[in-house]
């Protein structure tokens, strides 16, 4: 009988220190999930275009009511600092120069899935729910749909709905912000 070998998990502080020391190169697309350093998938053109559309739509729509952060870390726990494609966070004068935003700062997280949809729907959604992220959108490019996750709990999100072209999205934290699904999908 073989036993699984224990894994060495890293804390967010250790992960950030490795980046500072150059152990992790600046150009690598990495994120820390539950203590494991995960290499993010290469970004295809459809993914990049969707991130650009979302950035433009959200920046125009939120004005000064929120900060739009693109592929920046969110400090969720001692072991997790994911880098969602977009995050709407509470405005702060220093733009989070003193520390990455935490779960309480997040108004909305968005992942764009092209080749990573199952990971984003499974591991990422579970991580975000456990951290108490109130709302998470998964743009499922292959399915031309957006899944909206709300009501987080320790077992995941209790409310998950799928939206398609013709549907209108409104983030719970910014209910006057109208986002057309087709404007996101292109």
pLDDT in tens, 73-115: 999 999 999 999 999 999 999 999 999 999 999 999 999 999 9
| pLDDT at 5 (0 to 100) | 82
Q: What percent of the chain has pLDDT above 90?
A: 89
| pLDDT at 1 (0 to 100) | 64
Looking at residues 140-161, what average pLDDT do you find? 97
User: Helix %, strand %, coil % for the chain, to 5?
Assistant: 25, 30, 45
pTM for the full predicted model: 0.93
Indicate whether 7 pLDDT > 90: no
Tokens of 166: 């013709």
Looking at residues 148-164, what average pLDDT do you find? 97
Q: What is the CATH number of domain 43-185?
A: 3.90.1570.10
Domain residue spans of the chain: 43-185
| Residue 94, CA distances (Å) to 90, 99, 167 in order | 11, 9, 36
């Amino acid at each position: 009988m073989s036993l699984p070998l224990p894994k060495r998990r890293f804390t967010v502080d250790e992960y950030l220190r490795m980046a500072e020391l150059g152990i992790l190169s600046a150009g690598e697309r990495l994120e820390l999930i539950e203590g494991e350093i995960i290499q993010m998938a290469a970004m295809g053109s459809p993914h990049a275009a969707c991130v650009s559309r979302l950035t433009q739509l959200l920046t125009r729509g939120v004005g000064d009511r929120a900060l739009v952060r693109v592929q920046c870390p969110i400090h969720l726990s001692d072991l997790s600092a994911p880098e969602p494609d977009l995050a709407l966070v509470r405005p702060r004068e220093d733009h989070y120069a003193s520390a990455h935003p935490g779960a309480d700062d997040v108004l909305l997280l968005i992942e764009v899935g092209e080749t990573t949809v199952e990971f984003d729907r499974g591991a990422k959604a579970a991580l975000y729910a456990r951290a108490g992220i109130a709302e998470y959108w998964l743009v499922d490019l292959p399915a031309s749909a957006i899944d909206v996750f709300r009501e987080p709990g320790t077992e995941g999100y209790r409310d998950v709905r799928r939206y398609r072209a013709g549907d209108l999205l409104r983030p719970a934290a910014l209910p006057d912000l109208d986002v057309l699904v087709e404007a996101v999908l292109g």
